[in-house]
Structure 1
């Protein structure tokens, strides 16, 4: 593919003009990188390039290809004209060149987008039904660094069919995170299961142990009579993380909303007495009041 400079040889026909353009544009890339407080290593790593490549670009030693130009502009959140326009400037002390409001907004969005965590949907296992419009009932948040290129979903288990598996015990109400853009392998996974006994015989997601015997795939959980043949078309994803539930009633039985199920507060005096006991417990144990 021809480089940007070759495509613009009508405007920059002389070799000295091409060199000047490379030097000026490279310096703009360098100054912009400094403005956004990034090292060469950080930018090069994010773009999947080497430090020497970015250094040659910033020093005007490299004929920048159009895809690489667009890659840099996308990373910095600006249009190509910002770096190539001879009248633009990145050297002002109190501003970033002469970006228009749209570019400034985009730059802010890209910056925030790189900082904010990613929302991961959590689905009820009973409602994860094949062919239906599945809607999450909750969300968790992971950092973008942790997500990287993973495509993930969360499922709240609703059975104890995987308590005895050899990898990681999964109890009802545990939330399991699955990566769905990864090949099927031996371990804990999610599959499409047919006529699920615990969920009104619906066809939907089941959490299972995935096995491989003599080049054939099988799945199993305690709801199965034996190892069941597994077709690759049934596969959804592999488990990569689990959040377990914890009962609070034994930790702080006074905390409102976590009383034993058979206990209810019936009269105002009982409610006031409970609030007083809670306040005393907080003062004695948490020491947040003088």
Structure 2
């Protein structure tokens, strides 16, 4: 034996013997028939034996070729099975998925998506970080982020979920008994508005729309907070009018602690989006999380 054959040469021999044809084996392996013929000539020369009978119309293993195939085929099957196991392990969701999101988005995930995700993928772990500020998810080591549509960076792949959302203006019945309810957003200048400060330091502008007319109001008021739950609580305590997501306000509205004002000026807007960088490989865990997200929403 002049040189020990490598696995690709033996795979080529097995393919030719299985197909009884250089052309069919070449198509199966993705090479040319002439390349395959050269591989076989080199293999037989290195082994010092003829492995194939060749005629113009047929190809068949020689006796020694049949004996080699008998030992070789189980090895090749085991090799293929090992590669398939490796691919299955590589593509199976595992490890920790890190997601940065606003607190309200995480509350929504915990109600539906997270339990279903863990049920389907028990080898996965989730690290959910809540922040009001918009972070660079790539620079800070997150796999994905979740924000309302207008806050998603344009260079990201975005997956919408959870339906549309609506910001609503609410106040307590006691406050409205002492202060005439506003009829238009311009009337808010006469009210104590509970303002929201973003983590950037900027104050959140209240945006309204009706019949194609849009208004953005820089409201005034003695109280500024940085947490929407506290804003609704403050409104329920009679401290003024708060402008918050309807999901946050709903429990207070249901029990009558607050009532809505300017309802016709509070339209629905595109809701939450999970987003991730499109230029990077998408981890199996993130793909699995997106599948659950789409199925449930």
TM-score using structure 2 length: 0.28
| Structure showing greater Rg | 2
Q: Which has the higher contact order (CA 8 A, sep 6+)?
A: 2
Whose helix proportion is higher, 1 or 2? Answer: 2
